[in-house]
Structure 1
């Protein structure tokens, strides 16, 4: 499954991160310094290195405080691209689920995106032969020695979602699942980052024990779009 990118990509050099969602970069072509919106709230310390190449897109919209958006970044000392758009995995998964492009989810029918149940909003509602299925998608960008780790920063909201999915699964009304989407091609397995957020690692382990599906997929990122990769193991 390939999700095209129709935005024009402008290469730039990273200068500094002013806060969680704002970067300062310099356009490669014009040398102009620009303020760039960053979707990904993770730490990204291994990627946001001075002079590393970031591809940005321009948006001339009146309501926007910043006209530029960070789209992807190169892995240091490499030309491999990593997506910085945290909403991209959900867009990719929507297309994949609707077109039954995921072999491990082909037995389920796509019903709805952003479905509210139990006081929380879930990424996808699917329908199985006997029960409906709630699926939550998590974006992975942190990599060490070809292992992807989540989360990149402590996430109370993420842990709460996992606990709720576990509770819903134990009620036996819905099936539930978590899908880690790695927005880079060099990851061969996924693990919880227990040194960053031990609470998340603990509730994820409990979720798997309770029967919550925990899966992961790799992706290949290019300037013209992102391609869904193979299923990879989650080690908990």
Structure 2
């Protein structure tokens, strides 16, 4: 995933989940935040942020979109639209272990009462992938979610049903940074979601976690990291 034009700024505050105030070239700007999650541990007044310059689009209400933030010396992409795109591209490029040489890939496909991010086929199996972007990190440990997610719980339980019906089911956690060595479920934040993912694993759903290669103007698939599902 490549951003065409970026600028740097200083985060000031976040009046609501859709917009923030950022200091860009000495001027206070209202910018769009491409992540409706809380991100309270990231968006701290005074931190450096990266924004996409969208001023060439006459239909936009804001000139910029906040896409990444520095946490000490680690750059974290917080664009919630990116993970699906990154994983989809990685599948096309055969960059994910155990998911190479697919014969068909399609984004956004319905199953029962859910819409999974990716549907795929290989020579012997059909399957679904649900992608979750991870921006929460603490002491080298990445965690999901950073806020309660009923939708995420629903997806995990629907994935169990897909496996029962003969599909290959995968919940894919894309850590939107390079640095964490372990991925854990955030039981304290959302016990129901964490329980659903652990149950899914026990019922045959594959749980994958990959970090990302991050630059100021790009993000791509990285390497698999260790997963800990227990409470």
TM range (shorter): over 0.9
- Among 173, 181, 184, the alignment partner of 1:191 is 184
Give the match for residue 155 of structure 2.
161
Give the match for residue 71 of structure 1.
67
Q: Is the 8 A contact 1:47 1:73 kept in 2?
A: yes
Moved over 4 A (4+): none
Give the match for residue 222 of structure 1.
215
Question: d(CA) in 1 for partners of 2:21 and 2:67?
Answer: 14
TM-score (structure 1 length as normaliser):
0.92
Question: d(CA) in 1 for partners of 2:212 and 2:149?
Answer: 23
Question: d(CA) in 2 for partners of 1:72 and 1:22?
Answer: 14
Q: Is the 8 A contact 2:3 2:52 kept in 1?
A: no
Question: d(CA) in 2 for partners of 1:55 and 1:218?
Answer: 19
1:232 paired to 2:225 = yes
TM-score (structure 2 length as normaliser):
0.93
Deviation at 1:94, TM superposition (A): 1.4
Structure 2, unmatched stretches of 5+, are none
- Among 74, 77, 81, the alignment partner of 1:83 is 77
Question: d(CA) in 2 for partners of 1:203 and 1:24?
Answer: 37
Residue deviations 1:40-77 (CA, integer Å, cap 9, x gap): 122211111111001112213233222210011101x3
Deviation at 1:107, TM superposition (A): 5.4
Q: What aligned pairs does 1:196-215 form with structure 2 within 5 A after superposition? A: 196-215=189-208
Question: d(CA) in 2 for partners of 1:104 and 1:208?
Answer: 17
Residue deviations 1:60-101 (CA, integer Å, cap 9, x gap): 3233222210011101x32x2110211111111111111212
Residue deviations 1:116-159 (CA, integer Å, cap 9, x gap): 22132111111133321100111001011211100111111111
Give the match for residue 97 of structure 1.
91
Structure 1, unmatched stretches of 5+, are none
